[in-house]
Amino acid sequence: MRAMTLMVSGLVMAAAVAVHAASPNDVATARQKNFKQIGGAMKAASDTLKSPAPNLATIRASAATILSLAPKVPTWFPAGSGIGHVSVKTGAKPEIWSDAAGFKLAAANLLKAAGDYKAAADSGNMDAIRAKQMALGMTCKGCHDKYRQKDD
């Protein structure tokens, strides 16, 4: 009896999860929100790095945010969540899925660059921070150039 109750409870929970699965529009919207967090963190760090006395706490927080999100990037692009599949505006080009190996490599490069940037931020060495942030920005640009449609 207890096994049957557990089985039925499990089926009910699985059905509830299926009903509440994210739609492609929800996925695209969440992806955009996450990338805006990464962009905001980059901007905050860039802005403080331009000042005569950069705020190390801001840089470290920005680096931590980027590193916390970077490993999740590949999960933000399930099939059917790009241009032509969603009604929300998205820049996710079909190449993300048609060149899945290349996109996976670009995501791995982002994770490495984010880790390097975080290590530099943790060191407090402003020259290293600037260099690693520039490298991170170039990694972002490389992915955007190939896998993101230009904004109108």
In a domain, 109, yes or no: yes
Per the structure, how many domains does the chain have?
1
Give pLDDT, residue 16.
37
pLDDT digits (tens, 9 = 90+) for 96-112: 999 999 999 999 999 99
What residue numbers bound the domain in which 27 lies? 23-147
In a domain, 81, yes or no: yes
CATH, residue 54: 1.20.120.10
User: Binning pLDDT at 50, 70 and 90, where does residue 84 land?
Assistant: confident
The Cα 104–Cα 114 span in angstroms is: 15
In a domain, 8, yes or no: no
131-152: average pLDDT: 93
In a domain, 140, yes or no: yes
In a domain, 115, yes or no: yes
Averaged pLDDT of the chain: 88
In a domain, 70, yes or no: yes
DSSP string computed for the chain: -HHHHHHHHHHHHHHHHHHTPPPHHHHHHHHHHHHHHHHHHHHHHHHHHTSSS--HHHHHHHHHHHHHHGGGGGGG--TT-STTT-SS---B-THHHHTHHHHHHHHHHHHHHHHHHHHHHHHT-HHHHHHHHHHHHHHHHHHHHHHBPPP-
In a domain, 17, yes or no: no
In a domain, 14, yes or no: no
